[in-house]
Structure 1
């Protein structure tokens, strides 16, 4: 749900345009934490009309190329977020700020649309569970082998001669059993 309704925004914009109160006084009167919020509403109303202050119901998806074009325009011209939003017919300047931040942090990959939420469930969950169980069993086996290897390595490092003698005896006793079979 939007923090401020469209009717409320329009009321404040009209009150400002009537010239009775400025941004700061309106912010105080209606308990809005920052006057820049009202400035944004007034500017959007002046540039886009009543559509400028309406909250969009459907989330618009922009291509990476469009986002790069917007950011490039802003960099080339030195335009503010608000001026850039007006130039590209966007009624929300903060979206450009988000694109810019993501681009600076992650590069072009940051501008790509990412899927949100949990991935869809598999149509056949038992098969997936079995494969997950197999993966865990395989991982357990590998961990057991790693632990056994590390124990033998430690024993060898502590006393190489005793370790070799012990394993020589085992090797000889197992090879004799094979010969007698």
Structure 2
């Protein structure tokens, strides 16, 4: 199995390669040989990116962003949504979370006081949810 050597090139290097190609009229293959590049089609993709988006487009990383970037974006989006919420909406959300917490604590206390009785009382509900008829 061959390990890929993923080399990254600076924007200036890419601009130099494209400038040389334009100035001399060299082909992508000849230009690749001149600069010691093993993949002439890479030059074509640089040229396309440059024509579509200018020099800034040559600085964009290829491929899928890392998961850490994804998580940062997700977190930033969540923070932005919270900032957009009105004061009243924030209070309503807090109230709902507190109601859920109280319900959870009530059920926990009931279970701790009488585990068998609690399970027996709620057995029918859990039992009917877990089994589905297969007709």
The residue that corresponds to 2:57 in the other structure is 110
For residues 68 and 133 of structure 1, what CA distance do their matches in structure 2 show?
Answer: 40
Asked which structure has the greater CA Rg, the reply is: 1
The residue that corresponds to 1:177 in the other structure is none
1:121 aligns with 2:68: no
| Runs of 5+ unmatched residues, structure 2 | 90-135
Offset of residue 74 of structure 1: 0.2
1:86 aligns with 2:36: no
Residue 85 of structure 2: SS of its match in structure 1?
helix
Residue 121 of structure 1: SS of its match in structure 2?
helix
Distance 1:79 1:59, change over 3 A: same
Distance 1:78 1:133, change over 3 A: closer
Offset of residue 121 of structure 1: 3.2
| Runs of 5+ unmatched residues, structure 1 | 6-54, 142-181
Aligned-CA RMSD value: 2.9
Offset of residue 113 of structure 1: 3.2
Using CA pairs under 8 Å that are at least 6 residues apart, name the structure with larger relative contact order, 1 or 2: 2
For residues 96 and 58 of structure 1, what CA distance do their matches in structure 2 show?
Answer: 17
The residue that corresponds to 2:14 in the other structure is 67
For residues 17 and 3 of structure 2, what CA distance do their matches in structure 1 show?
Answer: 20
Distance 1:94 1:56, change over 3 A: farther
For residues 137 and 59 of structure 1, what CA distance do their matches in structure 2 show?
Answer: 44
1:3-18 equivalences in 2 (<5 Å)? none
